[in-house]
Structure formats: structure tokens, C-alpha cells
Chains A and B, each alone.
Chain A
Amino acid sequence: MTEKSNDGQRFDRLPATADDREVEGRATRKEVVEWWDQRFEIPPETFEEYTFWEKGKGKIWILHGDIASPLRIEALGMKFLRTRQEHWKPTTNAVQRFGREATKNVIELTREQARRFVRGEDQELDWDGDWGYLVATHELADAPEPLGVGLFVHGELKSPVPKGRQRDL
């Protein structure tokens, strides 16, 4: 029997494409991979070995590999993306993990700006690119390293770093 609605108690693998969709409004694997490509130019091949899952409306998780669906467990891989609102929002941890591949909408912060960002502070700064969610990076060990996802609107970079991940460095 096929369940037609979302269930907040279990993980369901995302359908490959819209044609395979059984739960209304559920994101597809294709849409998720294309979103990362369009927003950050993270190549779709990056996610070849991964599967995507929904538990609760619009909460998308990423798993390296695959397993039987549906699955009633506490957690699976990593929380990856929120698709409930009009603008999809990646998680801080997903951007830290996969953001090194990004070549678009990447904002490189100075060390002082990075400190403010990880304290969870919003800051005014110059950015000529798209508004919306950005990969915020700073230089660490001679390479740019993603701090997490930032939200740029009206000349301001907002820091959505969750409380438990914030640090005073």
C-alpha cells in the first residue's frame, strides 16, 4: 500500500522526478540536485552516491548510500535542506560539508567578519551578487573553508548559524 501523505515519524526517500511523485508538494531528487547546481554551481555529480529523504514537511536529509524506504528511525545522515518556504534554505552543516565545491554565490569574509558571523551577528557589507542564501567562507589553512550559510538582503549579511553552533572565537 502506498502512503500518499507526509509522515513526521518516518523517513521517505525523495522521488527521482516529478513523474514518480506520490506525495503532493514533496521535492524530487532532481529538483534538489538542480537547486544546489543553480544556486551554488555545486556539480550534480557531487551527489551521485547520495540519497535524499523527507521526514516532516519540507525537511530534507542526505544519506551517503541507500536503504529501504520508508524507515522509522530517529535520524538518517544529515539534515540538508528546508523546502517548505518559497526560498529553499540549506543547513549550516550541509554547507560546511558540501560548500567547498561551490563556485557561485560564495562570499569570502575577512577573519573579523567571520568571527561576527559565527557569533550569530548580522553585519552590513558590500556584495554585488544575488540576494538570498550564500556560502560564507573564510581562509583557513591556506584555503577558503565554508563557515555555513549566510542570508544576504538589503546590504546586510544575516547569520543563521544555529545557537548550538555559534562560537565566540
Chain B
Amino acid sequence: METLERYEPLVEDFDAFLDACQRPLPSVVRVNTIKATPEQATAALDEEGVEWTGREWSDTVLEVDTDGPGSTWASYHGWIHGQEEVSAIPAEVLAPESGEVVWDACAAPGSKTTQLAALMDDEGLVVANDNNLGRLSALRFNTERLGVTNTLVTNTDSRNFSLKPFNTDERSSSSPATQSQNFDAFDKALVDVPCSCEGTIRKNPTTLDEWTMDHVRSVAGVQKGILTRAIQATKEGGTVVYSTCTFAPEENEAVLDYALEAEDCRLVEFDIDLDSRPGVTEFEGERYDESVRKAKRFYPHHNDTGGFFCAKLEVEG
């Protein structure tokens, strides 16, 4: 918990924050609308006597009164998927639509990828990339279990992601009824980067045991590389959502500040019906672009969730 003391200047009601960080998380699932409506999923939970509570901010997020939501019929059928509440925020903010081509730059193990596919009614394309081959098996397992059929899985470093494979002229001699979706830029991109994971302490109380400032600095470098590549790979007028599960301004506002300087983009406001605080413009002597206030910080004591950071960017010409 000492690690978190550095955020005392940022967090109001700091004692409540620390208390919340030491409590276990509620058990939360997302309804997978590719396979079931929220009504069907809740009816299936009712049949098994699993009590559930809906959420104001999302029709598909449910708190369930069981430690093992995976051991339900609804889960076996892929109607529900265990996913922390704040982890459902960035895909909602990105709001992909049917038919769009969307990049999920750091996709494994696939909770957000499958949520993107569901928001698109499984139509269009999600290109789900991860640099970690080991974690790709979990991503592939989850997309298939949840019935996703609009997702491509790639294994490269997102900082150097190439769109070439998707933009070839070579056509097979068979041309099916459908329109080919060759593309040279994404409509939208989700950049949910690897981070120091301070916000997941309620799920993994040992998360901060190996926390070092060096790690924060090193991961921030990777985050800047991935976010700038995502902005470059997204078409003008397109949307990029940047998110982390950490409180460190070095991995949040500082990364946005870097991208605003390096690429043609701007931060935009968004609404999510959860309690949040604006991005911070100053921390430990560093100052960030004023517009980072448009990002949102989600603290554990405000909504009884994990900690999270989310920003929405518009790509400019």
C-alpha cells in the first residue's frame, strides 16, 4: 500500500481510497449479446438461483452473487463472461458500430475484444493483436467460446503494426457473395496498454509487491509507442480510446501529453454514467496539456470497482 501513498495529492478522501483498495472486488460479469440478450442471461441465472444486480451505466454489466460465475450454465454457453466492471468501460467509450474495422492493439486475453465484437453485432472486423504468443491462446479460446466470428488474431509488436496483409490485391478465383473488406486504416482503435496494474490490487493483493519507478518509466515508453502507432493507423476523423488499469500519471496523462505533441489528434469529452475524476494536469513537478482533463480517472472508493483510466481521442488530418 506504500506505493499508493504517492497519489495522496491526487485523490480526495484518501483514507476511503486506501480502505477500498484492501477490500475484495464484487463478482461482475458481462452479458455476451452475440449469444444471448440480457433478459435471457438473467433468466438463466435465475433458474440456477444465482442472484444478480444490474448496473445503471450499462445494460450488459451484472454483479452476481457467486464467487464462481464460470460454474454456471450461462457461462458454459458463453452467455456471460467474467469481466471486472471498469474493464467494460473502454469498449463502451469506443462505441464501435456494425461494419466498422476496429483495432484492438493489446487484445489478450480478450474480454474487451469480445465486447467490441458484441457491440458491433459481430459484423465488420476486429483485428485483435497481442505481442505475447502465450496469451494469444486465451484470446482465441475466449473469442470462440463467446461465438465471435468477426475477429482476426495477429501476433506482432503493436508499436510496428503493419496493415499490409489486409490490403492486398490478390484475389482468390472464387468470389463469394460478400464484399471483401480490404482496408488500409482502421475506423477506430482500442489501446488498452500493458501497465503497472495498480488498479487491480483488489483482485490481486500482491500486484504492488514488485512495483518500481523504473518499471513505470519503462512501461510508459512502450505505451507511448503503441498509442502513437494506433493514432497513425486510424483514419482521419476516427476514434482512439486509450486506457490503463493504473493510477500513475506517468502512464496516463503523460502518455496522452506525448501523443498530443507527436501526432495529429485531440482529446474529446465522453460520458459514462459512473463516478469519475478528470485527468490531472500536474504531478510531481511535471505539467501536462490542459486538455488531459477530458480523460477520466476511476477510483475504487467511488463505484466499488477496480482503479481505471480512460481517454478518448479524435484523429485529425
Contact = CB atoms under 8 A, between A and B. Distances in A.
B217 to A, nearest CB: 31
B160 interface: no
Contacts of B150: 63-65, 77
B172 A69 contact: yes
Interface in A78-113: 78-79, 91, 93, 96-97
B170 interface: yes
Interface string B99-136: 00000000000000000000000111100000000001
Contact of A140 (B77, B177, B182): B77
A118 B76 contact: yes
B152 A75 contact: yes
Interface string B275-293: 0000000000000000000
Q: How many A residues are at the interface, by size bracket?
A: 35 or more
Contacts of A72: 165
B155 A65 contact: no
A42 interface: no
Contact of A78 (B44, B76, B149): B149
Given A140-B44, A169-B73, A93 B174 contact: no
B182 A68 contact: yes
Nearest to B43: A141
A50 B179 CA distance: 10
A97 B147 contact: yes
Interface string B165-207: 1111111111111111110000000000000000000000000
A162 B133 CA distance: 21
Best-buried of B34, B125, B169 by chain A (most CB within 10 Å) = B125
Nearest to A145: B77
Contacts of A77: 148-152
B154 interface: yes
Best-buried of A12, A49, A91 by chain B (most CB within 10 Å) = A49
Best-buried of B77, B124, B167 by chain A (most CB within 10 Å) = B77
A68 B149 contact: no
Contact of B172 (A13, A62, A142, A168): A13
A21 B179 CA distance: 20
Interface in B43-61: 43-44, 47
B147 A93 contact: yes
Nearest to B175: A16
Given A78-B144, A93-B145, A167-B76, A67 B182 contact: yes
A67 B166 contact: yes
Interface residues of B, number: 54
Contact of A142 (B41, B43, B180): B43
B38 to A, nearest CB: 11
A13 B176 contact: yes
Contacts of A96: 35, 77-78, 147
Contacts of A91: 144
A67 B145 contact: no
Best-buried of A63, A79, A97, A168 by chain B (most CB within 10 Å) = A97
B168 A68 contact: yes
Interface in A5-20: 12-17, 20
A130 interface: no
Interface in A31-89: 48-51, 62-79
B270 interface: no
A29 interface: yes
B108 to A, nearest CB: 11
A140 B123 CA distance: 26
B40 interface: yes
18 contacts: A13-B172, A15-B174, A67-B125, A67-B180, A73-B152, A73-B153, A73-B155, A75-B136, A77-B148, A77-B150, A77-B151, A96-B35, A96-B77, A97-B34, A118-B76, A141-B44, A169-B71, A169-B72
List 9 tightest A-B contacts by C-beta distance, closest first: A75-B153, A16-B174, A141-B43, A97-B147, A64-B149, A64-B150, A74-B153, A68-B168, A15-B174
Interface of A: 12-17, 20, 22, 29, 48-51, 62-79, 91, 93, 96-97, 118, 140-143, 145, 147, 164-165, 167-169
Interface of B: 34-36, 40-41, 43-44, 47, 70-78, 122-125, 136, 140-141, 143-145, 147-155, 165-182
